Structures are given as structure tokens and as C-alpha cells.
Amino acid sequence: MYRDVSGGTMMSTSGIQCCPALIGAERVAANETFEDLDPSTGRLIAEVARCGATEIDQAVKAAQQTFESVWRQTVPAERARILRRIADLMRQERDTLAQLESLDTGKPLRQARVDADVAARYFEFYGDIVESLYGSTIPAVRDMFIYTLREPFGVTAHIIPWNYPLQIGARTVAPALAAGNCCVLKPAEEASLTPLRLGELALEAGLLPGALNVVPGLGEEAGAALAAHPGINHLAFTGSLDIGKSVSKAAAENVVPVTLELGGKSPNIVLADADLGSAVPVIVNSILQNAGQTCSAGSRLLVQEAVHDQVVEAIARRFQTVTIGRGLEDPDLGPLISERQQERVHELVQQGREGARLLIGGDIARDERLAGGFYFLPTIFDQVASNTLIAREEIFGPVLAISTFRDLDEATALANDTQYGLIAAIWTRDIGKAHGLARELRVGQVYVNTYGAGGGVELPFGGYKRSGYGREKGYEAMLGYTQVKTVAVKVSGI
């Protein structure tokens, strides 16, 4: 449950949780609240502070004060100690965090446990590597001593989505804090509870008040105010393409660098020689995980003609055994995040029936035991033409589009025939083909005979084309939260 740092659950007289913002060390109740619903049931679980421009300004100023007065001067070893302590506290509270994440997003409990583990790992990883953040010397001129410094930007803004609030919250703020920045984190209105708890755990771990501020609110209010705030020195956004464009435009007005992690239409590419017994379970999981609400979901399946029927039959059998239910009941497939998202997926699927063959699903789950929740049946389209909506639009639901190819050239053309370029997987026993195809794919990550990397904390992650720019995860993410200063000293007597 969401608690204050003294351990007391924050409840209203109606029994509904009341969740204020976290600014500095204070819990700040905005003038208004918004409703946070359990997507598994449609029931109200919390009233969350509806922050606006006033609270955003307070949070930015708190971050500025902490950065200028203390945090920028805090040595890497001390920052590392605090980050590792945050990781320790998150692990101690793993089950509680997982239950809260499952309740707030609807995702199956086992997936929420993985999210909690990965989120803790981010703080541990950046705590471990921050002491290796060095500048360099440049032996360019004989009588000059030239070196570079990597310095933090100052106040960094982090606008995160609702699909992985705990994991993405940790992914974006951990490297920023490690590099010496102070953060203002704006979670999505659909799922704010675990980011707020993360902010509390950071304070418990000894993070200075103001180094991490969490300001929930509506995107068009709090998100817009944060993106446009003149006190922000760097902005990271994860979310949809359209909102990403708006955020980057707002940041550009203040000449603020931006990291954008946007959408995807990622393919699994199955060659005729693939080990299908290994491939099929992973392919199914890549589209059904978190009900398909994943930017890197394997939403397209490109299959070589010789094995098409065999692959489709195997995947269809697995789809037919999928269990659907409340996230806390730990089914295979939980609900979509909201009624609005359910309606969007349903509309896109109905439009997608043209130019494709519907094999399984294609509708809202209407079982009485799921009443009130925002469920959608696992769905497969086959014989999907590359120019159709179902092949090109990011649906963000448990919807798989299957197409065939004859040879590697056609596979490459189909895989790259999208505005996105986030992730791809190649399934083959021929390592030469795998390397050759990997070089031709216009994506930020390529996996061979697997999909994803168990959280991939150490692996640089980001997109080509309209999937965004900049990199999160890995050492590159921490470098991205620094700016380089060059110092050149004239040395006499040489």
C-alpha cells in the first residue's frame, strides 16, 4: 500500500487511499485530485494529487536548491552508497511493490515482481558504475595540458508512461541521480502509486530532499508544465509518438536536450531453419506480456513461407490456452490499463480486419467474471499485408500480425517497412545469416534466438527513426545525463 515514511497508510474517511505529491521532503496535496482505477475491476483505488504548474514550479525549485547547495558537490562514492541503499530497500519491499504495481496497472503479479527486481537493479547498477565516470586527457599540443570533465546538467525532468511505472521510473532517474543531477519525476495519471512509493524509499535511503521529486498529474497539465519549465536542464520522455513530438517542441523553446523513447512495431523474424520449439513460447510471450502494452512488444511476426503453417498452428494453440484475469490472481493475461485504451484497441482491431485474416480473438473479453475490467482477448491476424493498419500502427494491445516472406531480402524489406525502429529478433540456426540480417535492420536492438534480455539493465536501449533518439540503460544512459567541459591549460617551461 502507499504509505508515508512513518509507516502509516494514507487513507481518507471513505477508505480510499489519498496520494499527495512528494516535493523536497514534504507531502504536498494539490487543490484537486484525480481518480486512479484498478483496471482489473474498474473500481476506484486512490485519489491522487492533481499537480499543475504551481506544484511543478515548487518541485523544480526544490531540485534546483538541492543541486546547487549539496548534490552537485557530493562525491561519486557517496552517491553510489545512496543508490545502492535504495536498491536494498526496494528488494526488502519487493512483494509490496509488486502487489501495488499489479493493482495499479493490472499486469500479472509475476510480471510485477520482475519489474520490482529490475527497478532495484537499476539503482544497484548505476551505484556500481558511477565511480568509473571519468573525463579524458587530449595530447593535442605539446605545451598545453588539455582535459575534459563530465558534469551534470542540473535539474532533469522525467515524464514516464503507465505501462511500467516502477521499472521505467527507476530506469530514468537512477542514471540521472548517479551523474549528479536532481530529478523531477512526473508519472502517468493512470499509474502513479509505485513512483510515489519509490520517492519515499529514496528518502528513507538517505537521498537528499529535493534530489527526487514526484509530481503526479494529468499530462496536459503537469506534463506540459514540466516540459516547458525554464528551470529544466534536460528532459527524458517515454510514451507515444504524438505526445513525444509535443514534449520535444516544448523543450526546444528552452533549448533543452531531450531523450525520447517512443513507439515500436517490432518484428520477430523466423527463418525456415529456426528451432521452433524454442522460438514459439518466446514469441507468444513477447506480444502477451503486459497485455501487449509494451513499446518493444513483438507485435509483428514475419515467417518464412516454408514454415508458416507450422508456426501459426503452434502459436494459435498457445493463444487458445491463455488464462485471463485480475493481475493479483497472476493469470497469463491481465487487463488493458483503461477503458479508453480498451476502446482504442477494439477500434483498431475492427479496422484491421480489412486486409488480413482474423484467426483468434479480435474482441473485448466479455466473460462475466471479468465484468468491470478492461480486458481484451488475445488476437492473431494472419496474411497481413505490409501496407495495412494492423501491420503499421502501434496497437498497444495483445494483437499479433503475421506476414510471410520468401528470402532474406524480403524479410529485411518487411522488417524495415515501418516508421518505427526499436527492437527486432531473428530466429535461425545459421549464425552467418543472423549477423548479416542484424546489420540490415534499422532498429536500436537486435536479438538472435531470444527476445529481450531479462530487463537488459546493462544494454543500451533506444530507437531508430520515429522510435525516438538518445539511449537509456547501460553506461550510455549515464553519459547522456552529463555534459562535457573541456579545460585547456598553457604549460610554461616545456
- What is the number of alpha carbons within 13 Å of residue 101 lying toward its C-beta? 32
Question: 295, 393, 394, 472: which is the annotated catalytic residue?
Answer: 295
Q: Which residues contact 462 (CB under 8 A, 6 or more apart)?
A: 259, 261, 422, 444, 468, 469, 470, 471, 472
- Distance CA(27)–CA(214), nearest Å, equals 10
Residue at 493: amino acid letter: G
Q: Tell me the C-alpha to C-alpha distance, in Å, between residue 148 and each of 73, 176, 256, 398, 471.
A: 18, 19, 22, 48, 22
| pTM for the model | 0.95
Of 137-146, 204-213, 426-435, the range with the lowest mean pLDDT is 137-146
Q: Which residues contact 452 (CB under 8 A, 6 or more apart)?
A: 286, 296, 423
- Residue 4 pLDDT exceeds 50: no
The percent of residues in the chain predicted with pLDDT above 70, rounded, is 96
pLDDT at res. 14? 46
Nearest residue to 345 via CA among 356, 329, 361, 332: 361
Q: Which residue has the higher pLDDT, 40 or 12?
A: 40
Residue 494 binned pLDDT confidence (cut-offs 50, 70, 90): low
Q: Give the dihedral sign, CA 315/394/113/46.
A: negative
Residue 353 binned pLDDT confidence (cut-offs 50, 70, 90): confident
pLDDT at res. 45? 95
- Residue 10 pLDDT exceeds 70: no
Residue 13 binned pLDDT confidence (cut-offs 50, 70, 90): very low
- Stretch 4-28: mean pLDDT, rounded? 67
- Residue 326 pLDDT exceeds 60: yes
The percent of residues in the chain predicted with pLDDT above 90, rounded, is 93
Residue 6 binned pLDDT confidence (cut-offs 50, 70, 90): very low
Residue 301 binned pLDDT confidence (cut-offs 50, 70, 90): very high
Please say if 182 is a catalytic residue: no
pLDDT at res. 142? 86
**C-alpha cell recorded at residue 311:** 508456426
Residue 9 binned pLDDT confidence (cut-offs 50, 70, 90): very low
- Stretch 351-375: mean pLDDT, rounded? 93
- Residue 2 pLDDT exceeds 80: no
pLDDT (tens digit, 9 = 90+) per residue, 113-172?
Answer: 999 999 999 999 999 999 999 999 999 888 899 999 999 999 999 999 999 999 999 999
133 C-beta neighbours (distance < 10 Å), count: 18
Question: 124, 261, 393, 394: which is the annotated catalytic residue?
Answer: 261
pLDDT at res. 493? 66
Mean pLDDT of the chain: 94
pLDDT (tens digit, 9 = 90+) per residue, 175-194?
Answer: 999 999 999 999 999 999 99
Nearest residue to 458 via CA among 122, 170, 117, 120: 122
Please say if 295 is a catalytic residue: yes
- Residue 244 pLDDT exceeds 70: yes
Beta bridge partners of 152: 482
* Cα Rg of the chain (Å, integer): 23
Placement of cell 508512461 in the chain:
161
Cα angle 436, 440, 441 (rounded to 5 degrees) comes to 120
- Residue 8 pLDDT exceeds 70: no
Residue 492 binned pLDDT confidence (cut-offs 50, 70, 90): confident
- Residue 444 pLDDT exceeds 80: yes
- Distance CA(337)–CA(468), nearest Å, equals 23
- Distance CA(261)–CA(164), nearest Å, equals 13
- Distance CA(196)–CA(32), nearest Å, equals 17
- Residue 332 pLDDT exceeds 60: yes
Q: Which domains does the chain have, with CATH numbers?
A: 17-262+471-484 (3.40.605.10), 267-455 (3.40.309.10)
